[in-house]
Amino acid sequence: MTQKEYNKAIDDYSDNIFRFAMKHLRNEMSAKDIVQETFMKVWVKHEEVQYSKVKSYLFTTAYHAIIDWSKKDKRSGDIDQAPESTTNQTLQFDMNEVLTDALSKLNEIQKTVVLLRDYEGYSYSEIAEITELSESQVKVYIFRARKALKEYIKRLDLVI
């Protein structure tokens, strides 16, 4: 991949990778770090990467960086994850918050495949390549994740 192609890849995919990282990490600074780390790793191997496969390579690299980041974050703890004390317990229904909360209940691989499929619009074969799973495994994970999301939202309907 040439420098010009690399710069085009940054223009074309950095926002998508940022959204992907934000949905996983729910922390803007961490998501920006993932984007930077992803493009840094791609630049190191830019001579080996074909431009026609850069999208898949970028998301695979970002996925692995997110997994590493999540493992590190769980070991060190995060002040943002500490429970907040609230005095006002009013119920506010916001679908975006509900979906974000529901996604956080999924395991990493289910969250990843759902985000890649439903948020980023990747095909099953592209998701399989990014996550290093078979296409049938991707379909099973997506099915189970969607089923879990549906059950989670259905339980919330009973509360509201």
Does residue 109 share a domain with residue 67? no
CATH code for the domain in which residue 30 is found? 1.10.1740.10
Q: Which amino acid is at 141?
A: Y
Domain count, the chain: 2
Asked if residue 84 belongs to a domain, the reply is no
What does the pLDDT look like over 88-126, one tens digit per residue?
Answer: 444 445 667 777 788 888 888 999 899 889 888 889 999
Average pLDDT across the chain, whole number? 82
Residue 152: per-residue pLDDT: 83
Is 82's pLDDT higher than 50?
no
Whether the Cβ atoms of residue 9 and residue 51 lie closer than 8 Å to each other = yes
| Chain centroid, CA 124 distance in Å | 16
| 75 pLDDT higher than 80 | no
pLDDT tens per residue, range 32-48: 999 999 999 999 988 89
Residue 2 lies in a domain: yes
| pLDDT score at 125 | 92
77-86, long-range: CB within 8 Å, 24+ apart, which pairs?
78/27, 80/27
64/110 same-domain check: no
Question: How many angstroms from the chain centroid is the CA of residue 122?
Answer: 13
Non-local CB neighbours of 8 within 8 Å, separated by 6+ positions = none
**Helix, strand, coil share of the chain (percent; to 5):** 80, 0, 20
